[in-house]
Amino acid sequence: MKKQDTLLRLRRFRVDELKRRMATLDGMKADMEKKLADLEDSVARERQRASDTDIGRLAFPSFLKSIEIRREKLKDTLRDLDRERAACQEELTSAYQDLKSLEFANEQQEKRLAEIEARRAQARLDEMALVRHLRKHALRAG
């Protein structure tokens, strides 16, 4: 039974670890999305500022070019996070199924052991009742 308990703990730990990893990936994705939104806001602000001055109008295209590079890097990072999250989700699903099948097998074994113990107890009670019955009839006959 100890081996199964160890396996159950190991599988539960693995599921918990993957859930934590999913939460971390979700947090990282939310952070990247926030950075992307902040980048879009800064472009809008800089566009407004650039229209106010001649130097701004001249510098704005190079600013946009650098922002576009940054935006693409953020989008690449988001795609990587999505791929990693999908792989982690598959792994979590598999680990969860393994855990549930092991828990089910463990429950079935416990149920079988309880039934065996109940049968043994009933057999002992039946034997005691038979002995009592035989003694009772032996006393009447003798």
Structural domains present in the chain: 2-141 (1.10.287.1490)
53 sits in the region (left: phi over 0; alpha: psi -120 to 50; else beta) called: beta
Digit-coded pLDDT (tens) for 54-113: 766 777 788 889 889 999 999 999 999 999 999 999 999 999 999 999 999 999 999 999
- pLDDT, tens digit (0-9, with 9 covering 90-100), for 11-65: 999 999 999 999 999 999 999 999 999 999 988 888 877 777 776 677 778 888 9
Residue type, 140: R
- pTM given for the model: 0.71
- The upper half-sphere exposure of residue 91, i.e. CA atoms within 13 Å in the direction of its Cβ, equals 15
Whether 18 and 91 have beta carbons less than 8 Å apart is answered as yes
Look-up of token digits 């003798």 = 142
**Burial environment of residue 71 by CB neighbours within 10 A (0 to 12, 13 to 18, 19 or more):** middle
